[in-house]
Structure 1
Amino acid sequence: MKAAPKRTLIRLLIAPMVAALAVLTAGAPGAQAATDLSTVAQALRESPVYVDPEATDILSESDAEALADKIEDADKPIFVAVLPADYPTENLFRNLRTETGVTGLYGIRLGNEFDARADSSVLSSQGVQNLVTAAQGAGDAKAQLNDFVDDALRNLGGSAPSSWSGGSGGVPVGGLITVGTLLAAGGAGVYAVSRRNRRRHQEEQRAALEKLRVVVDEDITAFGEELDRLDFHPAEPGADDAMRTDYAHALDAYEQSKRLMAEARRPEDVRGVTQAVEDGRFALARLAARREGRSLPERRPPCFFDPRHGPSVDDAVWTPPGGAAREVPVCAADRARLADGQDPMIREVDTDYGRRPYWDAGPAYGPWAGGYFGGGLLPGLLVGTLLGGMMAGPGYAADYGADYGDFGGYEGGDLSGADFDGGDFGGGFGGFGGGDFGGGGDFGGGF
């Protein structure tokens, strides 16, 4: 844990930037006087306590610093915002949690009133209500917030977000610090580092997409070849409306996959492409069954070993090298190979370490696999693999998208972005009137 003097210096560097942004927002033509919520969220990603420039009479700079030190020293995901009484309350908790994107406990002092919400992974809804009840009778803001934090530290799960431990933490108490030459230089340095990191991240994302593009183009090409081999003509003898519908569906999926790939800008955009390809292949399987007079196939995921093998026909037990056995969907050919004790025909892709199975090729293949296998199925298929381990990490959703199924969920302090369930972000009650302040709003029972 970093020392308090260092934290204080960092806060002195960050605070003028946040305060200046708030002033600019308030003074812009047509802008609302209230500090934009994205500014509040950015400040909370840097430090556990934010005091609005219009609420400095509620909690002093020194008290805010001491409260932030207490939270950071305890390494717990507690976020405290002090806002003026007239701050807009509609969906405030939900929007702040979305903007901040970090799992944790959120307490807000709004004028003379207080309420809180939390992700269920760190504290139950009833636990939050108990904390709020105890804090509401504690007196002034300093006593109230300290009591709230003290009680929360004894009950809260999870750990502080990594963004607090880096070089950008701070308690932004707007308007209390004079911006000198040193502070301006420090602020410029922080901005430069942030900009450089963002640019590097964007370059990494582009590089990952280009590697993935090769594999996806192979999938689309293989799907197009299947369309050609089918050699179906809507006006051919024996063709009926059901066949023509399946064929049109497959053609539409083919064109959609090409369009979506051309429009892709990030690896997570690929998920829609492989969803379209998988949907089109199933339409072709239905068309082939109709033409041959067979029963229509059951809707199943594609072959796990290579989705180009088409829809699976069965589930088979397979054990990856060094991993645990699991059931995976397989095509008829791979089912026969496994039954004979042979290796399946695995889809391999180019990596920096040579050709590797796609589940050992890097994080960008999560969206690729997610489009084929959906959210609920994917975790069981990938457990124990390199890709499965990456997708279980707290930062994966922010870089490559979410909703791939339960890879372990988010713990306190994890970066989930907007991927959280309002029904699992609850607690608090009473006192604020409208919006989601008080009375639970739309928290605790879903949206």
Structure 2
Amino acid sequence: MSSERLTEDRPSGASRGPAAGLLAALLLACAVLLGTCAPARAESAGPGPTASTIAGALATDPVYVDPFYSAAVTPTQQRALADQIAGTGLPIKVVLVPLKKGDAFDGSARALASVVKERLGLQKLILITTDDYGKWLNGTEWPTDAHQTRDAAAAVGFLDELDDAGLAARVGRAVELIEDGNGTEVYEAETAELDKKYSARPEDDRSASGSSGGPGTPLVVAAVLLLVGGGGVFLTHRRRSPRHTAFTFPDAVFAADEAADEAGLRRRAADELLALGEAVEDADGTTTPGLGRALDAYDAAGRVLDAAQGLPDLAGVLALVAEGRSALAPAPGLPLCFFDPRHGTSVRRTTWRPLGRRERVDVAVCEDCDRALRARRSPQVLAVRDRGRTVPYFEVPAGRSLWAATGYGSLLSGPDDTLAARVGSGGFSRALRRSEDHDAAGD
């Protein structure tokens, strides 16, 4: 992929008149504010999710809200936004995450949008995200900006009606503008009004003079206040050429995101497998009736780890280790979370109906997924690439995925039907070969 990025067509001082002075002051004020405010925000934001995590969640819900924004967009508001998006009939997705230097997207809203789009594998997509500074919205549409998405997202930062509105209301208004297809009209009207208000000020108020504060002090102070109160979006959302709506990032961005996920999970799987081996060695065969099953699980986990080709297989190692530990325990435990074994221990079993299907399945869920289901939200799922798209792992045909066929243990038929037994009978290796043949054929 090329490294072409969006460009900004900023008007010159000669062509824009008074607005050029305001823009210059805003740039100076922005530099001051970013130097003092951004680190505190970044420190509080935490490590942040990866694109794979976000894409997995978006596979079942059009709105992804990072826990950092949970107070700003409640589960009820998230469901309302999802319903609003469904009503538009447009391929709109919303990703609300805090960004900071050093995260999976290096603090760039553009990188976030580009990588998430790649993970989703959708040709047509309208994506609304938070921007680099965390308070405003960015809008991007593929393959062209047919619904004026960029200006619609930018416009909400200028609307007086949203001065005291929360993040959910801002996203909802952006969705409305995108559906109406008049984002550019609203954006231009609001920014023209801003320029008009500035131009109407007396000339001496806009002069670069001041006896105590140095040149331009009143204007800089006004710019700082404007940034704090909402004008920061003026810098990032000035008119940009519609010829550069779509943008791309180097393959390294995507590779780094996926490699970080896989490398970390591989280390975790190896550590947990080693711990299971030690537990098996320490177990007393006379008092541990499940020792044989634990040994089978240990052997199967080692074989899967050796042949693992990505996150789903490494998650399978975790599930097999959990099965081995359960065999060593006095009473059998639940399998790991059906939606994503990386979530850890399940707290209960529940019935769940996949989106768009009539049948229900009985699955084991972790505490977070249980809470999401009770709130009628879609839980975060382990996502995989299949046929060029990012989908929940359980949507891969069972013949090409042992994990889809078994739900990482949740869908097994009885006490003798175990993940270790499936691996031991060749279920994993057969599915792996079919998956490789499928990829080679480009089906």
Q: TM-score, normalised by structure 1?
A: 0.29
Structure of higher RCO (CA pairs closer than 8 Å, 6+ residues apart):
1
Q: TM-score, normalised by structure 2?
A: 0.29
